[in-house]
Structures are given as C-alpha cells and as structure tokens.
Structure 1
C-alpha cells in the first residue's frame, strides 16, 4: 500500500515501522543507533539485520569454523593503527579464502570424543603468570584457567593437524 501513496511519506512510514517494533527488539535498537532516511535504507537495514540473525542461528547449529588466515592476536591488540584485512566491505581486493576445517559439533564435544584416542596429544602447561589469566574462563584441553575451550588456538591447531593427517 505504501508504494501506491503519492508524495514523500518516507519519514512517516519509517517512524510507523519503528514504533511497531517491541522496545527491546534488536532491529529497533539498530535503527535508533543508525537512523535511516529512506524506505530503501530501511529495507537494506532490515535485510542486514535478518542476515546477521540467520548467521547467528547457523553458528549455533553448526559449531565453529576455523578461518584460513592465522593472525598474531598479540600484535593485533597493540597495533590498532595497522590496516586490518578482515573488515567486510573493504576497498582493497583480497584473494578468496577457504575454510580449513569445519566441525558439525562444538569443539568441546569433539575433544570429548577423541581425548582417549592414541593419536590425540594433550598440550603442555600454559606459560605465563597464572594470576594474570582470566580465572572465570576454563579450557578443557589445557585443563587450566585463562581462556575457553572454543577459543583455544592450540586445540584448533591440533584438530586441524589431525584432519590433515587423516586421523579425523
């Protein structure tokens, strides 16, 4: 019906749409943080929000994906001035990247299934000051505090190597 109305009523349509959303709805919050000025922008924002929500749902169902590029997280933390290559919509051409390893289960479930296999290797103890680690996070692979199992790069590297070796 909106398309059949003559005149410039974008603001009224956008306001009506925003008012129809529940107060705590993520799309409403997004539209408040980044206001739109046309119906086209509104539709684009709705599509973007929908894709993000669908991606979140797929991530929950599929487990974790390891990206191709390995980055030095420590240097990323201190070199914020450096141009980063992982931004979506970047202007520089980038060679296509592949996903190395995809598991249909969460990494901690994979760990549970293979931890007693002969090819599985437990890691060395983590280095660094125990008191400086985040004590609320626990890694099942290291069996120590400091980070979560799903964020354990050492475990991901080990699993990736097992896949390459044909063990998994």
Structure 2
C-alpha cells in the first residue's frame, strides 16, 4: 500500500517508521547516568552558590541518582584549595543532604567575600576617578593631595600588590604604627565626601594621603610588610641598597608578614 503519492511515496509501515526515526533522532533526549556528575567542575570565576545550583540541576536530570556517588562528584568538582573541599575531606558528611547543608554555609561566606571585593573595587575606582579629576586642576590638586603641605607631588613610592588603604586596615592595631599629626585647616571647610582612615578625618582619600605613603615607606625600610610589595619594587629596593652599600633589611623580602 502506498501511503504518499507516486513521487517520494512510502510503501509500508516499516519504511514509515524508519523515515520517522531518522528524521527526529536529533530531538531525542539522551539519558544521563551517574558518571555525568564527575564531569562537573566549579569554574574559576563561578561563585560557590552558582556551582551548587548548577550541580543540583544536573543531578535532577539523572533518574535514581545515588547520593553517595553525587557526594563524591560534588567534592571532586571543587578546587583543592577551596575551604569547602578541605572541610569535606577532614570531616566527611554522611549524607548528600549534609554535604549540601555544609556547602550552603560556605556559600554565605563566599557571598560575603565577593561583596567585600566588589565594594573595595568600587572604592578604588572612585578614588582613581577623584585623583584624575584633581589632576585637571594643578592648584586644586595640590591642596587636596598634599594635606600636610610638605611632600612634593613628584615623589615616587614603592608599588604594592594591593591598595594602600587595604594595607592600613590590616596594620591599624600594630604597636609600631605611628599616629599622624592632626590635619591642618578648619574641619568645617573640609570635603566630607573624602575620608582618610589614617588621619581619621575628612579632606582627602586614604589612597591619596602623603602622610600615610611616607610612613608606609618607613615601614618598608624597616622590613615590615614586604609580602605586599610588587616583585619589581622588591628588586628596585635591593638594587638601591646595593648601590648605597646599605646593610640588609631587618626581614627578608617576600616572606615577611605585618
């Protein structure tokens, strides 16, 4: 029996089934097994919370997925330097539910760190924009970037791997940190949109504070905080010491912590 016309006709149900299968094979959903979960890995720029959601979504596609296999696959997908990986290794969870509960707690910590980094980045961008605006007006820039009035704008400083306001936050309670002299001028006339954590007052940003920059240079010369110094600056310091025939610093470069 011919199902279609003479041109391109199908003469039997068997032939019809073959043509139908061939036509729609690409739309068939391929079932995934447990091993599929071991192909999942946390991406470098992916938050822990997003990795958890993605893993759960893939697990839901596997019918009858074994929880023990899923637990092993979830841990395998984490970077070995991840704190959660270490926790799951030292204190293994008994069930997949416990694994996800532990992961959610670490996700809260991860979310907080991401938010803090974002806030610090925004603060750095605002400080940089403000510094650029000040540079357009030399006289105004000099008044704002030199609150002490005794540091030349062309003075060079050591390059650090993190902004100097973040360094200050880490060493604020150290006994060797010197307190600066009070800011000069009328506090009522200060720009309250600019705050210096070193002086604990308004008028300029911490990253633009020459008093903090000078004191930080003194700390570096005394061997403090070398782990935050960029490698190129470390070599420059060594070269300068060699030319000046100065004795070695109190602490070795690249290994000292505040």
Question: TM-score, structure 1 length as denominator?
Answer: 0.41
* Higher RCO (CA-CA < 8 Å; seq separation 6+): 1
TM-score (norm 2): 0.27
